[in-house]
Structure 1
C-alpha cells in the first residue's frame, strides 16, 4: 500500500541558432494553486502492477463505451485491461498479448515484440507494436474494444512509437521512429503511416495492407530544401538490407509522437531530436509542412537551475538556448484555428560510439562570445550543464559561440504553421521552488530523479523536471493543459484559455517523499509520469472529467477527478 501525501498552496548549428526568437500573437499529493484556480484535481483511483523499473505502465487509452482503460505494459509486451467504475476506481480485468496475431501482409507478430502505444475510438483498439529486432518493420494491431477479440493487423514502419486515431474513427496515424541499431550499424528511415480504418468492427475483414499509406521525408534528400532550424546530425549509415534505401535526411528524421486535430483532417507529429513538427494531410497522406520549434532563450525568457553542484536551488538566467525537442503533444481548436501544444522534454542520442552531448566545462568557449568563460565553466555555474555537441560551433569548429541545452523545461503553444504563442520557460521549476519555500514539499523534491529518493538537485545539470507529455481538456468553457513531469513526477495544470498567456493552476503528485531507496520495497508511490489521457465528464463513469496518468518507473496508473471550483 502506497503512502499518499496531499498538500495545498494558493497562489546545422547556425540555422538552429537563428530560429525565430520573438513571441507571436494570434487574432492529496502536493498541490499548488493560484488564487484564481478554477478546477481542482484529486486522486480517485489507482492500480499498481507491482513491477518496478521495467516500463510496466506507459501509455493509457480510455474506452468510454465500455468503461475500460487500456495501459501499455512494455515489460509484458502486452496491454493491461483495467475496469473503471463509477467511483473512478481501477481494477484489473485481463491482459491482451499481441504475439501470434496474423497481419495482412502474411507476417505473424513474434513473441519478442514490444507494445509501444495504444489508442481507442469507435469500438476499435489500435496498438503500435515494435518488432523484436527494433530496426525491422513493426505492426499496427486492432482489437474489438468490447469483446477484446483481435481484428487483424497491418505492417507499418520500423519502431512504431506512437499511434493516434481521428475522433471520427476514419484514420489511425502511426509515428515510426526508425531508431538506429544500438551499435549504429544500420538506421531505418523514419516514416509516418496513415491507415484508413473500416467504418466499424464488422467490416475489418476488408482490412488489407493497401489500407496503409506511408509518408516519408525523402524529398529532402532529393532537392527540396530542409526548413531552417531542422536538425540533421550524426553518422551516415545505411538502411537495413531488407528495407528500401533512403537518404541520410530521411533516415535521420525520427517521428516520435502523433496528435490529430479535432476535425480529423490533419496530424501533427513531433520529430523530437530534429526539434521539428511534421504536418500531414490525412485525406491525401502527404507531408504538407515541416517546421522547427522556436528556442527558449535562458538569458532573458526564464530562469533555470543549471547545476547539480551549486549547493541549493539557484534559478538564474544564463547564456544558454533551450532546444525544445518535444516528446508528447496535443492539439485543439481555438477560434477556428489548430493550435499545437508541446511538452519540451529534450532527447540526446547515444548509439555505438556516437554521443551527441558534452558538459560545458569540457568544451572550449569562444572568448569573443563568452568573455567570462572561466567563470561560466565552474561546476556551481553552468560547467556541468549538458549541451548538444554539434550546435553552436564557430566556423572553424574549435570553440562554441552559442550553447544549446537539451529541452526547454517547459510546454509551448504553437499555431499550425509553427508560430509560437506561449512558452512557460522557467515556470515549472519556479512553481516547484515556490512550493518548497511554502513548506508544502521537502527541499529534496527539487529536480529530483525518478528512480530513487532522496535525489535533491540531481537533474539540474540535465533536463530539470523534464516535461514528458501533455493533454488538453475543456471544462466549463475553459481550456487546460495537463503536463506530466517525467523526473520529479506528477502533473502540472495550466489554464490556456488565452493561448498567449498560460496561467498556472495546480500541481498534483502521488510520489511519497518520505520514502528512501531505489526499488519497489521503498514504497515510493508514483514515479516517472509517462503517458496521460483526458476524459471529459460526458464520457466519464464518474460523471466528472478525469486525467489518467501512467508511470513507467513505478508501473502504476492513477486517475484524478477534476472538480470545478467556481461557476
Structure 2
C-alpha cells in the first residue's frame, strides 16, 4: 500500500498535477500560461476607415467590424480561421454612422451617431445569427463606444458630445445605461459637477472649451466594466480624467483627474523633434497630459486595475483650436533660459502644445510647456490613483527592435509619439495576465506580462505588413475561439484590415 501511494504521487508530479493527500489526481490540470502569439491571417474589410472596432460572437463564430467607409457593420464567419467567409453586411444608412460594436450571448450592440452628430444617437441591437434588428435605443450625442456589462444585463455607451466645427453647438457629454430587463435607458450627464471646475483643474483636469460648462466640456471616450458588473469607468480623453459610474444606482460617483507626467524625470525620456535628424530619447522640462483613449479593467488577486492607452488628443476645430507648436510660444526666461535654445526645432520648437495651459502667473508668457498624451500605458486604481506608468518603455522597445518604425519613422516625434491607442488583457486561468497595447502610428502591438500590475514585463512586438493604424484590439479566449486557441484580433483603421494572431503554445 505504501509503495502504491508513492507511485501515485510520482505519477502526479510527472503529469504536473497537484495531488491530494490520498494520492488522487484532481480533475483540472495546471493551466499552461505560456504565450507565443504568431500571425495567423488577415481579412480585408475595405479602404480607410473600414475597420475600426470588432466584436466576436462565440455562438455563431462571426466577427462584426465597424465599417465607417460604407456606413455598415461588416460580417465575417471565422469558424475556419484559415478561410474566413464574408457574409452580408448590416446596412446602417437609415440610422447614421457606426462607431463601435459589442457582443453578448447572441446579441450585437452597435453605437450609431446621428447626422448631425450633435443630435441624440442610437444603440441598435441585432441578432447575431440572422442579423435582424431586435431593438433600438436613443442615447446621448455621438455614442463613441458601446459595451455590455460582464453579466450581460446592461449595455453602456460613452456619448462623446463633440461640438460642431464652428463650436456653436456643444452638446452635453453623457453616459447611457440600457437595462435589458425592462429596456429602460438612463442617460447620465455631468451637470452635478458644474461649479467644481477649479478644484478639478487644480488636480490636472481640463475644462477649456469656449463658453462651455463642465457638463458640456467633458467628452466620454471609452468604457471599462468591473467583473461583478457593478461599476464602470469611463475615460474623458480631452479632459484628462476618468469618471466612475455606479451601475447599480445608475449614478456618476466621481471624476478623477489624471494630472501630468514629468518628462524631466529619468525613465520618462522622449524624442521631442521630427527635425533633429536623430532618434534619441532625452529628458525635457515638459509635462505630458495623459489623455487616455481606450481603457480596460481587470481584477487581479481580488483588486480592480484600470489599464489605459495614453494617446493624447487636442481640440482643433474651425471655430476653436488649442493646438500650437512650442516655437509659437513666448517662454518665461527664468523657466526656459535663452541659453537652452528651447525654441529651436531640433530641441522643443516643433513639439505640439496647447494654448490652454502653462501661463502659471498670468503674465502672458509660458512657465510650463505641456504636450498631448503620455506616450505610454498606465495602471490606475479603481479610485483613479496612478499605480504604474510605462515611462519610456514603448519608445525604448520600438527603437531597439524596429528603429525604422519608431514614432512612425520619426515623423510623429513632435506630436504624440507612437500614439498608444488601444488596450486589452488576456486572462489565462486567473494565473497570468497579458496586456496588448496597440500603437496607432507605429502599426504595431506591444505585449507585456502584467501578472504583477505594478511591475509589467515587456514580452514582444507584433506587426504584419499591410496593416496600418491599429484602432481596436479584441481578445478571444481559447474556450470561445474557433480553433481552441487564444486569439488576438487587431482592427486596423487606415488599411481597412483585420488581422488575427494566435497563441501557439
The yes-or-no answer on 1:276 pairing with 2:230 is no
Residue 138 of structure 1 aligns to a residue in which SS? strand
CA distance in 1: counterparts of 2:36 and 2:166, whole angstroms: 47
CA distance in 2: counterparts of 1:236 and 1:74, whole angstroms: 31
CA distance in 2: counterparts of 1:224 and 1:488, whole angstroms: 36
Provide the aligned C-alpha RMSD in A. Answer: 1.6
Q: Is the 8 A contact 1:46 1:89 kept in 2?
A: no
Residue 444 of structure 1 aligns to a residue in which SS? helix
Segment of structure 1 superposing worse, 226-235 or 148-157: 226-235
Aligned to 2:224: 259
The yes-or-no answer on 1:136 pairing with 2:111 is no
CA distance in 2: counterparts of 1:341 and 1:195, whole angstroms: 25
Q: 1:187 aligns with which of 153, 170, 180?
A: 170
State the TM-score, normalizing by the size of structure 1.
0.80
CA distance in 2: counterparts of 1:88 and 1:233, whole angstroms: 50
Deviation at 1:401, TM superposition (A): 1.3
Q: 2:412 aligns with which of 443, 456, 459?
A: 459
Aligned to 1:418: 384
CA distance in 2: counterparts of 1:395 and 1:491, whole angstroms: 42
Q: Is the 8 A contact 2:422 2:472 kept in 1?
A: yes
Q: 1:445 aligns with which of 383, 387, 405?
A: 405
Change (3 A) 1:285 1:314: same
For 1:517-540, what per-residue CA distance to the aligned partner results, in whole angstroms no more than 9, with x for missing partners?
Answer: xxxxxxxx0001001111111111
Deviation at 1:374, TM superposition (A): 4.7
Aligned to 1:127: 110
Q: How does 1:357-376 map to 2 (within 5 A)?
A: 357-372=323-338, 374-376=340-342
Deviation at 1:282, TM superposition (A): 0.7
Aligned to 2:18: none
Deviation at 1:490, TM superposition (A): 1.7
Q: How does 1:10-21 map to 2 (within 5 A)?
A: none
Deviation at 1:222, TM superposition (A): 5.3
Q: Is the 8 A contact 1:342 1:413 kept in 2?
A: yes
Q: How does 1:220-369 map to 2 (within 5 A)?
A: 220-221=193-194, 226-227=199-200, 228-236=203-211, 248-300=213-265, 301-369=267-335
Q: 2:97 aligns with which of 114, 120, 128?
A: 114
Segment of structure 1 superposing worse, 311-320 or 295-304: 295-304
Aligned to 1:383: 349
Higher relative contact order (CA 8 A, sep 6+): 1
Deviation at 1:223, TM superposition (A): 6.2
Q: How does 1:552-567 map to 2 (within 5 A)?
A: 552-564=493-505
Segment of structure 1 superposing worse, 82-91 or 544-553: 82-91
Deviation at 1:371, TM superposition (A): 2.2
Change (3 A) 1:124 1:225: farther
Q: 1:494 aligns with which of 435, 438, 448?
A: 448
CA distance in 1: counterparts of 2:363 and 2:134, whole angstroms: 55
The yes-or-no answer on 1:174 pairing with 2:140 is no
State the TM-score, normalizing by the size of structure 2.
0.90
For 1:253-274, what per-residue CA distance to the aligned partner results, in whole angstroms no more than 9, with x for missing partners?
Answer: 0101111111111111000000
Higher radius of gyration, 1 or 2: 2
Segment of structure 1 superposing worse, 413-422 or 214-223: 214-223
Q: 2:490 aligns with which of 521, 545, 549?
A: 549
Which segments of 5 or more consecutive residues in structure 1 lack a partner in the other structure? 1-36, 101-108, 199-205, 238-247, 436-440, 449-455, 512-524
Which segments of 5 or more consecutive residues in structure 2 lack a partner in the other structure? 1-32
CA distance in 2: counterparts of 1:473 and 1:232, whole angstroms: 35
CA distance in 2: counterparts of 1:299 and 1:383, whole angstroms: 17
How many residues are aligned here?
469
